[in-house]
Amino acid sequence: MRDTVIQVQNLGKRYRLGGQAQLDCTLPETIAKKAGQLRDKLLGRKTDASLEHANDFWALRNINFDLAQGEVLGIIGHNGSGKSTLLKMLSQITNPTEGIARIRGRVASLLEVGTGFHPELSGRENIFLNGTILGMTRKEIKTKINDIIEFSGIEKFLDTPVKRYSSGMTVRLAFAVAAHLEPEIMVIDEVLAVGDAEFQDKCLGKMNKVANSGRTILFISHNMNAVRQLCTRGIWLNQGQMQFDGEVSECIDLYLDAKRKRTGKVTDHVEKIHHEVDLQKVIVNGDDIDNVVLPADKQTLHITLDGINNGETKRMALEARLFDAKHIPLASYSTRHLGLTPDAIENGKFTLQADIALPKIASGQYYLSLMVNDPGKTSWAHLPMAVGVHAEGHTSGCGLAYPYSSGNGFVLLKSATPEAPEATEKIITDTSLQQAA
Amino acid sequence: MSASPTTSQQKQLQDAADTASHHWVEIKPHKGLQMIDVSKLWQFRELLGILTMRDVKVRYKQTLLGASWAVIQPFTMMVVMSIFFGRFAGLDSKTGGIPYPIFLYAGMLPWIFFTSSVTNSTNSLVANAGMLRKIYFPRLILPLASVGTPLVDYAVAFGVLIGLMAWYNIWPGLGALMLPVLIGMTIVAALGVGILLSAMTVRFRDFRYVVPFMIQVWFFVTPVLYPVTIVPEKYQWILSLNPMGGTISAFRACVLNESIDFYALIPSFLTGLTCMIVGLIYFNQSEKSFADLV
């Protein structure tokens, strides 16, 4: 049994919301409030407690866990679920309102990449500045500076002020510094969400190394693949409460399941619709909710659309377009390209169907737009970004689990040789699934 | 990566584990008066150094004249004020035989150091809000580091003072040995006010508007333009309650080879020290909520 390095008991953080709270009030207001409290105290009155509590907001409450040395803990949850607040408290940046946390060992927090970077200073000067801010000693930075420079890949611009850097270069430099921190306990908040995809992969690789070197890590990410790979244990936070604490795959599955249930219906996203057409139900991969998860081995989309035609016969075809997380169109599915004629839909109920085979797409978030068209002529209905598609990516099993992420392109290409590829692909997929499970 | 990452890492981990094995850091809600953790400050001394260096380096980046601005400002003010206050308003006859320009300049130096220190440290927390929100370090480092730049400017402008003294053929005596002490007192006063105001600015941005105004008023109740002797004697003690009052007079007396009025200097210093203590207490009490409020 390894030593416990972090103990968290009943930790909670309360914020005050609203105008008369302790946040953002002006001096006269505070004086008036304090004077009021003093008067109430002197006169033995009770202050209006209910009024104060109405503005209270518990960002986090009843958090309990122990972490042993070498454990890599992933913390997942929606935005605003209290993840960052937890890490901020453990990093001693904000103070808890109740409970206690005890930490043993040198902690480095990486809540943001490039904190304290100064635009007027050169890259080299900023390495020292940022490194010191993150808790490295000058001596430590001096011994690592060559590694840092090499990792960042911007040797040429080291003596140029950072304000002349592109934002990508700044991020690279900042991450290079952060990646060379070597504390016993590392607290990391969503830092992989920066830089271009290639650099993200590099960072993930570096993180993997750090995770395997026996350090204790607390890691927040919305990138489930990264969490799955790096972490041994997962905590799912929901509205400031601990929803689950345990094995990482189970944690992620529960979280994603809950995420699916919570979302709306596909038909909520109808933006333009012809007055004679009515959409009743859209089912994507068996559910009418606007979010699907695509496992690595099953990258197909089955779409069924039920509607009513209140007018005369129309020609209709279900078309789809796939976008990436930044809403850049990636792929299109259209009856026209397939050389099909759209169905003639008579007055009354109708059903349209599309079964789309996706190529192996990289892990990440995508969006699917749906359209009911008479291609090239009329648009009957448009549902932009109607379905969130979370692809789990294609994982290969050579040594380290390796995510097929968008750094290598969005689509994994097949070999043109007829026999081999499908078979290997199958094997690879199986190993990766075993690893994930 | 270095050639043998695993061994060096393991060694570091081992070392760290050894030193860390007895030491638990507790994070809990704070109640009551907190002590200032001097050992924490010492532990973060490199951060203090590098933040000071950052401000000094950045100060005159992309300027044509660079550090000469540290001289141009007090020198120009000295020339203009010598003409208007010294000559036209007749203050030059009240300095007890000391040429008014050097009288004025010797007062301006500590004053400019004081005001820019107060201004810088007042703004230091809000200006570094990003760091406050994302990094743990003793927050006191920020107002402390903001005194570095004014100190460098002070040193540069001091060079000109030496030139002026040579020009007017004034040579300092043993009193000059008091200079480091006086500079230390000025730092205490400036930091005292700055630390208090920086913490208050985090909560009440009003103080960003109060400070420039406060400094203007303060200038006229401090014997920079005039010697204390123009104030009726029975009111002079009020001036020496001003943390900069006795200090500036004493600084001037030091460099101009006159005797220091300790009856004015000591009350000044005590007020400065009181500011410092009050500032530290308030700062320490509110420090924990900076990240939430800033």
Q: Are B14 and A159 in contact (CB under 8 A)?
A: no
What confidence score (pLDDT) does residue B186 get? Answer: 95
The helix/strand/coil state of A106 is coil
Name the residue type at position A202. K
Alpha carbon distance B198, B205 (integer Å): 10
**Over residues A114-135, mean pLDDT:** 91
Q: Tell me the DSSP string of B114-142.
A: HHHHHHHHHHHHHHTHHHHHH--S-TTHH
Say whether residue A30 is in contact with chain B using an 8 A CB cutoff: yes
> Mean pLDDT across the stretch A53-77?
88
How far apart are alpha carbons A186 and A108 in whole angstroms?
5
Q: Which residues of B touch A116 (CB under 8 A)?
A: 128, 130-131, 135
Cβ(B82)–Cβ(B95) under 8 Å?
Answer: no
CA distance B11 to B3: 14
Q: List pLDDT tens digits, range B237-265.
A: 888 899 999 999 999 999 888 888 888 89
Task: Please identify which residue in the block is written with the tokens 């580091």.
Answer: B145
Question: Residue B203's closest chain A neighbor by CA?
Answer: A24
Cβ distance B204 to A90 less than 8 Å, yes or no, reads no
Contacts A23 to B, Cβ<8 Å: 292-293
B-chain CB neighbours of A161 within 8 Å are: 61
Q: Give the whole-angstrom CA distance, residue B103 versus residue A51.
A: 60
Cα–Cα nearest to A282, from A302, A271, A269, A266: A266
Tokens of A200: 């993200």
Structurally, how many domains does chain B consist of?
A: 1
Q: Is residue B154 part of a domain?
A: yes
Would you state the pLDDT for residue A430? 40
Q: Does A138 touch chain B (CB under 8 A)?
A: yes
* Per-residue three-class SS string for A269-327: HCCEECCCEEEEEEEECCECECEEEECCCCCEEEEEEEEEECCCCEEEEEEEEEEECCC
Distance of CA A184 to the CA centre of its chain: 25
- Asked if residue B41 belongs to a domain, the reply is yes
Q: B286 CA to chain A: closest CA distance, Å?
A: 11
- Closest chain A C-alpha to B78 CA, distance in angstroms: 32
Cβ neighbours for A366, distance < 8 A, ≥ 6 positions apart:
A322, A323, A324, A325, A330, A388, A389, A390, A391
Q: With CB atoms and an 8 Å threshold, state whether A115 touches B26.
A: no
Render pLDDT for B4-18 as a digit per residue (tens, 0 to 9).
444 555 555 555 444
pLDDT tens readout for residues A170-217:
888 988 898 888 888 989 887 666 666 677 777 778 888 888 888 899
Which carries the bigger pLDDT value, residue A358 or residue B105?
Answer: B105
| A74-93: pLDDT as tens digits | 999 887 889 989 999 999 99
Residue A49, pLDDT > 80, answer no
Pick A184's closest partner by Cβ from B17, B135, B289: B17
* pLDDT in the model for residue A27: 64
Interface test with B, best of A7, A16, A94 (most B CBs within 10 A): A94
Residues in chain B with CB shorter than 8 Å from the CB of A152 are none
Asked if B128's CB is within 8 angstroms of A116's CB, the reply is yes
Predicted confidence at residue A143, as pLDDT, reads 94
A147 touches chain B (CB under 8 A): yes
Q: How confident is the model at residue A394 (pLDDT cuts 50, 70, 90)?
A: low
Say yes or no for a CB contact (<8 Å) between B292 and A89. no
Option in B50, B61, B130 nearest A129 (CB)? B50
Nearest CA-CA distance, residue B47 and chain A, Å: 6
pLDDT tens-place string over residues A287-306: 888 888 888 777 889 999 99
Q: Are A410 and A359 in contact (CB under 8 A)?
A: no
pLDDT band at A1 (very low <50, low <70, confident <90, very high): low
CA A395/CA A435 separation, integer angstroms: 10
Residues 159-188 of A with CB under 8 A from B: 161, 182-184
Instruction: Report whether pLDDT(B111) > 50.
Output: yes
The verdict on residue B37 lying in a domain is yes
Shortest distance between the Cα of A394 and any Cα of chain B, in A, equals: 28
Taking an 8 Å cut-off on Cβ atoms, the answer to whether B26 and A100 are in contact is: yes
Which residues in chain A are closer than 8 Å to B20, comparing Cβ atoms?
104-106, 184
**Cα angle, residue A405 at apex, residues A404 and A407 outer, rounded to 5°:** 120
- B51 vs A contacts (CB less than 8 Å): 129
> What domain range is B124 assigned to?
33-293
Interface confidence (ipTM) of the complex: 0.83
Instruction: Provide the shortest C-alpha distance from residue A93 to chain B (in Å).
Output: 5
Q: In a 10 Å sphere around its CB, with 0-12 CB exposed, 13-18 middle and 19+ buried, how is residue A252 labelled?
A: buried
Write out the two tokens for A287.
Answer: 């559910």
Task: State how far Cα A245 lies from the chain centre.
Answer: 19
**Residue in A23, A107, A111 closest to B134 by CB:** A111
In a domain, B78, yes or no: yes
Residue A347 vs residue A208, higher pLDDT? A347
Output the six-digit token pair for A159. 């003596």
Element (H, E) at A391: strand A378-391
A207 in B contact zone (CB under 8 Å): no
How many other C-beta atoms can be found within 10 angstroms of the C-beta atom of residue B172? 15
Considering only CB atoms, which chain B residues are within 8 Å of A183? 16
CB contact under 8 A, B13 and A184: yes
pLDDT above 70: residue A146: yes
- Residue B9 forms part of a structural domain: no
A residues 208-237 lying closer than 8 A (beta carbon) to B: 209, 213-215
A137 touching B (Cβ < 8 Å): yes
| In the predicted structure, residue A236 carries a pLDDT above the cut 80 | yes
Q: What is the DSSP letter of B278?
A: H
Using CA atoms, how far residue A363 sits from A246, A322, A389, A433, in Å, is 24, 14, 10, 14
In a domain, B12, yes or no: no
In a domain, B7, yes or no: no
pLDDT of res. A193: 60
Query: What residue spans of A180-294 are helical by DSSP H?
Result: 197-212, 224-230, 248-262
* Whole-number average pLDDT of chain A: 80
For strands A216-220 and A185-189, give the pairing: parallel
Are the beta carbons of B136 and A115 separated by less than 8 Å?
no
Contact between chains at A95 and B289 (C-beta distance less than 8 A): yes
Helices B148-167 & B45-59 angle (0-180, nearest 10)? 60
Q: Which of A314, A317, A358, A322 is nearest to A334 (CA)?
A: A317
Q: Stretch B124-149: mean pLDDT, rounded? A: 93
In a domain, B139, yes or no: yes
Say if residues B87 and B180 touch (Cβ distance below 8 Å): no
Cβ of A102 and B47 within 8 Å? Answer: no
Contact A109 B134 (CB under 8 A): yes
CB within 8 Å: A118 and B54: yes
Does A20 contact B at CB distance below 8 Å?
no
What is the set of domains in chain A, with CATH numbers?
A: 4-260 (3.40.50.300), 266-391 (2.70.50.60)
What confidence score (pLDDT) does residue B185 get? 95
Give per-residue pLDDT as tens, B190-228: 999 999 999 999 988 888 889 999 999 999 999 999 998
d(CA A415, CA A404): 17
Is residue A217 within 8 Å of residue A183, measured between CB atoms? no
DSSP state of A338: T
Q: How far apart are CA B169 and CA A200, in angstroms?
A: 67
Q: Which two tokens stand for residue A58?
A: 């518990």
Q: Do A301 and A397 form a contact (C-beta atoms < 8 A)? A: no
Contacts of B28 in chain A (CB under 8 A): 96, 99-101
